[in-house]
Structure 1
Amino acid sequence: MNTLETLGWTISDWLSAHQQNEGNGHLEKLVDAVNHVNDCAWISRLSASDLKQQLEHLNARREQGDSLPLFGVPFAVKDNIDVAGWVTTAACPDFAYTATEDATVVAHLKEAGAVLIGKTNLDQFATGLVGTRSPYGAVSNSFKADYVSGGSSSGSASVTARGLVAFALGTDTAGSGRVPAGFNNLVGLKPTRGWFSIKGVVPACRSIDCVSVFALTVVDAVQVAQVLGEQQDLADAYSRKNPNTAPTGMPERPRFAIPSKLAFFGDELMQAAFMQARSELEKMVDLVEIDFTPFTQLAELLYQGPWVAERTHAIGSQLIEHPEAMDATVHRIVAKGMDYTALQCFDAEYQRQALARYIQQQLSEVDALVVPTSPTIRTLAEMQDEPILYNSQFGTYTNFTNLADLSALALPAPFRADGLPAGITLIANAWHDFALADFGQRWQAHLALPMGATGKPFQAMVPTFKPVAPGAVPVAVVGAHLTGMPLNFQLTTRHASFVEATQTAPEYRLYALANTTPPKPGLARVAENGASIQVELWDVPLANFGAFVAEIPEPLGIGTLLLEDGRRVKGFICEPVALGSAKDITHFGGWRAYIASN
């Protein structure tokens, strides 16, 4: 399998191969290799005949002109996610059933042209952060086989890290989409709860479950996320519509919170790696230390409180009453759900709500929180000795996230001295997913670590990613709303994100308006003798766009501007009646140069 040319290919690599009519042959070799290697990361695999049928269907769709943004890109899904005609096991043979329809997320990926090549191993019923609690075998770390892979999405992380697939789906309730990413040098996108549908996913804790994405790059993870979250799934009671109020990018130098005290449970190598990551972060962000106690208190509710009963409910009494059918550690955990009363559940919910509100308020004052993805890592042998204690340690910086309704992005970070990965995770309030991805791409480019466990260099030539976030309105500003100018706060307080400095097409003239406070320019499009004028492009969340426009005084307004590269965006325009008393300042090329001249 190591001889496969496609190991470590990103989405763009696969798309390029298909454009050159070479992709189908590479997929056939990949599927053949996966089917002829004993690899416990897989539970079920695509057959050669089924691949042929999929490719014939995709080629027919492409010839019909269908939009297929993931045409022929191979992916995998965790085996608690339904695929029509495939067996779903949740890593428990006694629970297994053949799915009659695709989970919504799988249906979206197939519609986009992606090719499913297999279903992956997991901690049974997604209960664990270790990757060892499965009758199909413990999934080893992709760098050192005697260490754990992390879980519960162990198989999905493993096949992505080794470059077999361009991306894979996991699930994340307590950190299952982040801890394996941290242990395998991957990107792990844990979306805002409800952004991706969980219809067709075997629940762990249905009220806080998320489908997650593993990828080698942030760019790929977000490309998949845009397919998965394109529309709300009304068939999923927990699916939510994006309110379009959050920023879609981060400032040039963001402000991150960081716990004032960090626990590493004696793991000096992980601590040293995180300190190195902190040093690199300080080159890019301002760090603000905070008290982490409320986060810890909320995290403890997940396994030391009645939320365990939600796992018990998901599995059902039939299996709970037959421990021989389940992994011993998983049964030991979920059986505790029987011990909680309804009164205790309500009491815990009130605690959760109070802590979540406090945490959300803290995070509203920064651009993100940064933490180690996991404070430590253990060997497979060590996990056998302390299966619950060490698992709990892995969740120190993950367990609270879904309970507090937060978004998260696990990222590769400087390696430990022993050669094992040590990731960091960015966490923010709900719907800040694109803002986290904006910084995540900068971070990956800054470190330029090899991708996953492939040894393949980070693709620095990947085009710079700017999120095409649904619900964001690009607005070109020309004067007092520019960065550092008096009215810029009207953008930043509405979570607008700076995109780029650019220029209009050479069809405009710029004027300094008379009797305006603070001083403002007027931009007018002309039929001749025009020039290019410097502007800044900002993404304004759609829900905040109306309030921003309402503050614009006459004679200014918002219209459509033509940029030098041909794009048409919303931007400031001026009523012609005000230009008669205005001063023509076109020769300065922009408002900033004019202000400097004064």
Structure 2
Amino acid sequence: MTETVAAIVAAHRAGTMTPAQTVARSYQRIRDHNDPAIFISLRDETDALAEAGRLTDPTLPLYGVPVAVKDNIDVKGLPTTAACPAFSYMPAQDSTVVARLRAAGAIIIGKTNLDQFATGLVGVRSPYGVPRNPVRDDLVPGGSSSGSAVAVSAGLVPLALGTDTAGSGRVPAMLNNIVGLKPSLGLISTAGVVPACRTLDCVSVFSLTVDDAMTALAVMAGPDSADPFSRDRPLGTVAAFPAKVKLGIPRSGQLIFFGDREFEKAYGEALKRWQALGVNLVEFDLEPFYETARLLYEGPWVAERYLVIRDLLASAPEAIHPVTREITAAGSRLTAADTFAALYRLQALRRTAERAFAQLEAIVLPTAPTVYSTAQVLANPVELNSRLGTYTNFVNLLDLCGLAIPAAMRPDGAPFGITLLAPAGRDAELAGIGRVFHADTGLPVGAKALPQPPLAAAPTDVDRDEIAIAVVGAHLSGMALNGELTALDARLLEEAATAPDYKLFALDTVPSKPGMLRIDAGTGASIKLELWAMSPKAFGTFVAAIPPPLSIGTIRLADGREAKGFIVEPAAINGAKDISAYGGWRAFVAGRT
């Protein structure tokens, strides 16, 4: 069944489904599922179908994929409410993340419910109702990104955006048996996102598989001048499972499960699974992480939440959910001295965390220590919400990236998940490790008991300190100039092919070389190539020696990835032979001999 992002895009490219058919299917499923608490607003179906029908570039990485967006993220044409009708406004433009999704071929279909002003991990603090947990309907759906997680789990959309300040992209993922990706701070722009704690907020991704989440992250990542908290950092490429992995686990007795023996057992089983995968588990001290977590709601960061709604608190306090009002109002009582004292302590805790990670790829923790029913949370809203954040509240304060992955089902049908955490910038490394663990569990995805798709071959295995380069001609293995690569200690990664956006020409050079020219998307040929990896220094040396009319540009690959590679100046193809029909330089050379 075409349920994952990867499967949907493949079906669209193959012509077995059209983007319009897939979008129409999402709307029909929303009607059939019949839970009005999932979406706060839906886009007009006719408009969404029309946009899907206008897509013409099948190489787009999210070609025709329906996406739901948490209703604290701006989508032009739909109101932004943050789950507070009195706060609602109509944005003049898309948020940066939504604009990038649209440019990648995604179709936005609606805005999802949330804990009001993204304050909560439970999903019950909204005047728009409580989305039913499709995995086990008595459990809370998780928050604050409740609607987004439920929409993916229930199969209404294959991809949804949340936000994550204290765990809102991870706790709902566990409770709905899906993947939740919490990127490094600043990797995705928050321009056009209603802030919760502006210094800690990030946009998160919900999907059925890790690979789907990374496809979306690659589309959205990148600096943005409209967001002063944006960072210009390379995302990196998801690599094959490393031969030697060290994962940190808390010292004996440090984990808290609030009496949930089944979750404690499930975590132990998850650690055995990691060991079976060849991972070395190393104990570390979790106590400094707990101390950091306490700073989030006991320290001055609650004042950031107060800043967002202070005018509304003053003018119409009854418009704010009573629990949200209670939490945020405390922010008005904090002093500047409180803030600086907390910042000093946080800096010390960050140094402690850095030492913990020095010899580790990541740490692995339960996503949450237990689960609660909606009735339990409504009866004890603050304490039980706080318990769900036991392993999430410290993450953004310590500038970590995170990946929440399903790990098991409790005998009573409650889902259990784990989260991988690492210092900012290691998003792709977490994905490379986490995708293998998730596949190894054999768990069905979401709430529909759909089998996991076969784990795709790992994308390009490029180390963090390497650059991938695509070669199409005389630098191919066994060709005349391949020695220029090997002399710089470059290593072959894989054979691949371009998207059908190029023409290949035989240039009049010595030795013979081809020139690859980019043309309109989908109107050219797919050209075979090789991907090589080299150090940045070697890459600079190599590029500096490339003679005209060749140069290095960005090549789009058939699977949607991009890599630096050889292109030709358009003027140089005048009179050159078009050899695109051969599908690559090696076939052309073989045909001449």
TM above 0.5, one fold? yes
Name the structure 2 match of 1:112. 104
Amino acid at match of 1:290: F
Which secondary structure does the structure 2 equivalent of 1:381 belong to?
Answer: helix
1:12 to 1, 7, 10: 7
Name the structure 2 match of 1:437. 431
Deviation string for 1:70-118 (max 9, x for gaps)? 1111110000000011111100011011111000000000011101111
Name the structure 2 match of 1:265. 258
2:294 to 292, 296, 300: 300
Amino acid at match of 2:275: E
Tell whether the 8 Å contact from 1:249 to 1:436 is kept in structure 2 after alignment: no
Which secondary structure does the structure 2 equivalent of 1:464 belong to?
Answer: coil
Amino acid at match of 2:334: Y
Q: How far is 1:448 from its partner?
A: 2.1
Name the structure 1 match of 2:42. 45
Amino acid at match of 1:109: L
Name the structure 2 match of 1:57. 54
Which secondary structure does the structure 1 equivalent of 2:416 belong to?
Answer: coil
Tell whether the 8 Å contact from 1:77 to 1:119 is kept in structure 2 after alignment: yes
Q: Is 2:21 aligned against 1:28?
A: no
Q: How far is 1:246 from its partner?
A: 10
Q: How far is 1:66 from its partner?
A: 8.1
Name the structure 2 match of 1:383. 377
1:556-595 matched pairs, under 5 angstroms: none
Instruction: Please give the alpha-carbon distance, in whole angstroms, between the structure 2 residues aligned to 1:244 and 1:183.
Output: 28
Instruction: Please give the alpha-carbon distance, in whole angstroms, between the structure 1 residues aligned to 2:317 and 2:323.
Output: 10
Deviation string for 1:227-281 (max 9, x for gaps)? 001x310110000000679996662230000111211011112111111111111
Which secondary structure does the structure 2 equivalent of 1:413 belong to?
Answer: strand
Which secondary structure does the structure 2 equivalent of 1:311 belong to?
Answer: helix
Deviation string for 1:558-581 (max 9, x for gaps)? xx9xxxxxx9999xxxxxxxxxxx
Q: How far is 1:545 from its partner?
A: 3.1
1:352-501 matched pairs, under 5 angstroms: 352-460=346-454, 462-466=456-460, 472-474=466-468
Name the structure 2 match of 1:315. 309
Evaluate the alpha carbon distance shift between residue 32 and residue 388 of structure 1 in structure 2; reply closer, same or farther with a 3 A threshold.
same
Q: Is 2:189 aligned against 1:192?
A: no
Deviation string for 1:504-538 (max 9, x for gaps)? 83459999xxxxxxxx9999xxx9xxxxxxxxx99
Name the structure 2 match of 1:254. 245
1:196-215 matched pairs, under 5 angstroms: 196-215=188-207
Evaluate the alpha carbon distance shift between residue 465 and residue 417 of structure 1 in structure 2; reply closer, same or farther with a 3 A threshold.
farther
Q: How far is 1:427 from its partner?
A: 0.4
Instruction: Please give the alpha-carbon distance, in whole angstroms, between the structure 2 residues aligned to 1:216 and 1:243.
Output: 24
Q: How far is 1:316 from its partner?
A: 2.5
Name the structure 2 match of 1:279. 272
Name the structure 2 match of 1:330. 324
Name the structure 2 match of 1:89. 81
Instruction: Please give the alpha-carbon distance, in whole angstroms, between the structure 2 residues aligned to 1:246 and 1:54.
Output: 31
Instruction: Please give the alpha-carbon distance, in whole angstroms, between the structure 2 residues aligned to 1:379 and 1:180.
Output: 13
Instruction: Please give the alpha-carbon distance, in whole angstroms, between the structure 1 residues aligned to 2:48 and 2:117.
Output: 28
Name the structure 2 match of 1:494. none
Name the structure 1 match of 2:585. none
List alignment gaps of at least 5 residues for structure 1.
477-503, 512-519, 528-536, 551-559, 561-566, 571-598
Which secondary structure does the structure 1 equivalent of 2:402 belong to?
Answer: strand
Which secondary structure does the structure 1 equivalent of 2:54 belong to?
Answer: helix
Q: Is 2:236 aligned against 1:236?
A: no
- Quote the sequence identity (%): 44
Q: How far is 1:365 from its partner?
A: 1.5
Q: How far is 1:403 from its partner?
A: 0.5
Out of 307-316 and 65-74, give the one that drifted further. Answer: 65-74
Q: How far is 1:32 from its partner?
A: 3.8
Tell whether the 8 Å contact from 1:32 to 1:48 is kept in structure 2 after alignment: no
Evaluate the alpha carbon distance shift between residue 142 and residue 33 of structure 1 in structure 2; reply closer, same or farther with a 3 A threshold.
closer
Instruction: Please give the alpha-carbon distance, in whole angstroms, between the structure 2 residues aligned to 1:94 and 1:103.
Output: 21
Q: How far is 1:472 from its partner?
A: 4.0
Evaluate the alpha carbon distance shift between residue 341 and residue 40 of structure 1 in structure 2; reply closer, same or farther with a 3 A threshold.
same
Q: How far is 1:27 from its partner?
A: 2.0
Amino acid at match of 1:431: G
Evaluate the alpha carbon distance shift between residue 291 and residue 73 of structure 1 in structure 2; reply closer, same or farther with a 3 A threshold.
same
Evaluate the alpha carbon distance shift between residue 106 and residue 246 of structure 1 in structure 2; reply closer, same or farther with a 3 A threshold.
closer
Evaluate the alpha carbon distance shift between residue 113 and residue 447 of structure 1 in structure 2; reply closer, same or farther with a 3 A threshold.
same
Name the structure 1 match of 2:576. none
Q: How far is 1:374 from its partner?
A: 0.3
Instruction: Please give the alpha-carbon distance, in whole angstroms, between the structure 1 residues aligned to 2:490 and 2:264.
Output: 53
Q: How far is 1:164 from its partner?
A: 1.2
Instruction: Please give the alpha-carbon distance, in whole angstroms, between the structure 1 residues aligned to 2:50 and 2:168.
Output: 33
Root mean square deviation of aligned Cα? 3.5
Evaluate the alpha carbon distance shift between residue 568 and residue 94 of structure 1 in structure 2; reply closer, same or farther with a 3 A threshold.
closer
Evaluate the alpha carbon distance shift between residue 320 and residue 374 of structure 1 in structure 2; reply closer, same or farther with a 3 A threshold.
farther
Name the structure 2 match of 1:579. none
Instruction: Please give the alpha-carbon distance, in whole angstroms, between the structure 2 residues aligned to 1:160 and 1:467.
Output: 29
List alignment gaps of at least 5 residues for structure 2.
471-475, 484-488, 493-510, 512-530, 542-551, 553-561, 566-593
Name the structure 2 match of 1:218. 210
Q: Is 2:124 aligned against 1:132?
A: yes
Instruction: Please give the alpha-carbon distance, in whole angstroms, between the structure 2 residues aligned to 1:97 and 1:568.
Output: 40
Tell whether the 8 Å contact from 1:434 to 1:469 is kept in structure 2 after alignment: no
1:76 to 51, 68, 73: 68
Instruction: Please give the alpha-carbon distance, in whole angstroms, between the structure 2 residues aligned to 1:293 and 1:387.
Output: 25
Amino acid at match of 2:48: L
Tell whether the 8 Å contact from 2:238 to 2:459 is kept in structure 1 after alignment: no
Evaluate the alpha carbon distance shift between residue 365 and residue 79 of structure 1 in structure 2; reply closer, same or farther with a 3 A threshold.
same
Amino acid at match of 2:30: V
Instruction: Please give the alpha-carbon distance, in whole angstroms, between the structure 1 residues aligned to 2:396 and 2:100.
Output: 23
Q: How far is 1:22 from its partner?
A: 2.7
Provide the aligned length of Structure 1 versus Structure 2.
501
Instruction: Please give the alpha-carbon distance, in whole angstroms, between the structure 2 residues aligned to 1:47 and 1:522.
Output: 51
